Amino acid sequence: MSDTSTITPRQNEILFFIRDKIVERGYPPSIREIGEAFDIVSPNGVMCHLKALEKKGFIERNKGVLNHKSAARAITIPGMRTTPAVFPMLGLVAAGPAIEAVPQNEQVDLGELFAGKDHFALRIKGQSMIEDHIDEGDIVIIRRQETAENGDRVVAMIDGSTTLKKFYRRKNQIVLEPSNSMLPPIVIDPEEQNFSLVGILVGVVRKC
């Protein structure tokens, strides 16, 4: 399993870029495209970032590729689907009194709900959001953006480490509050710490 706490901001940007290209067109960018997107002149500079991402478990390279010319584009993201998941919508189910089962001719496309160049998934480690019913092992869907409203559940990066918390801006501080009464909030002074917002929580996936 990849550890998001070990990824650098530049590696994170390159990972997003690779994911975006796979979502948009179905295959990853070339070494040259990555270099041009991030003003990295040397192909070796791009390769250093890719090797680091591969070592940390965020990408796989050359998996099942025997042709050296094809290896440059043979970048995959473990667990990432290139096609959306579509399920038949059979109707409603009661969470209170029982209701009549009425068949519906409808489908729910999870790709349409959550996929796109600004969406990505993370697996939860820990129980700091357990009171919001987000448990260890759950997968959260994040919409990448750099702004948030008070009370939004966000993925934030603090000095190179990432965390999912509730966001609050209070005077000259940023407070990241867990949804776990046993844990203290994280108080950040943006002038003294390297802080950035990665994105906003838009969905939670749990396999029972």
Name every residue whose Cβ is closer than 8 Å to that of residue 51 and which is 6 or more positions away in sequence: none
Which of 191 and 127 is assigned the larger pLDDT?
A: 127
Structure tokens at 141: 């869907």
Distance of CA 62 to the CA centre of its chain: 23
Tell me if 22 sits within 8 A of 28, measured CB to CB: yes
Q: What is the mean pLDDT of residues 177-192?
A: 89
137-178 pLDDT per residue, tens:
888 888 888 899 999 999 988 887 888 999 999 888 999 999
CA–CA distance, 11 with 106 (Å, rounded to integer): 40
* pTM greater than 0.75 (yes/no): no
CA–CA distance, 186 with 176 (Å, rounded to integer): 5
Q: What is the largest CA-CA distance in the chain?
A: 65
Tell me if 38 sits within 8 A of 14, measured CB to CB: yes
Q: What pLDDT, on a 0 to 100 scale, did the predictor assign at position 89?
A: 63
Q: How many residues does the chain have?
A: 208
Which of 159 and 183 is assigned the larger pLDDT?
A: 183
Structure tokens at 64: 């099942």
Q: Where in the chain are the domains?
A: 4-76, 119-205
Query: Under CATH, which number does the domain 4-76 receive?
Result: 1.10.10.10
Quick check: is 165 catalytic? Answer: yes
Quick check: is 128 catalytic? Answer: yes
Q: In terms of C-beta density within 10 A (0-12 exposed, 13-18 middle, 19 or more buried), how is residue 168 classed?
A: middle
Q: Is 4 a residue whose pLDDT tops 80?
A: no
The single residue of 42, 165, 166, 181 carrying the catalytic annotation is 165
Mean pLDDT score of the chain, rounded to an integer? 80
**What 8-state DSSP symbol labels residue 29?**
P
Q: What is the mean pLDDT of residues 89-105?
A: 59
Which among 145, 128, 142 is positioned nearest to 205, based on CA atoms? 142
Phi/psi at 94 (5° precision): -80, 140
Q: What is the mean pLDDT of residues 90-94?
A: 57
Q: What is the mean pLDDT of residues 111-127?
A: 76
Identify the residue whose tokens are 């990241």: 176
Identify the residue whose tokens are 């270099």: 35
Phi-psi region of 161 (alpha: psi -120 to 50; beta: other; left: phi over 0): beta
Q: What is the mean pLDDT of residues 102-109?
A: 64
Q: What pLDDT, on a 0 to 100 scale, did the predictor assign at position 86?
A: 61
CA–CA distance, 138 with 91 (Å, rounded to integer): 25
The single residue of 5, 125, 128, 181 carrying the catalytic annotation is 128
Pick from 50-59, 103-112, 129-138, 161-170: least confident:
103-112
Query: Under CATH, which number does the domain 119-205 receive?
Result: 2.10.109.10
Structure tokens at 132: 């919001």
Tell me if 149 sits within 8 A of 197, measured CB to CB: no
Instruction: Please give the helix or strand (H or E) that residue 10 lies within, else none.
Output: helix 9-25
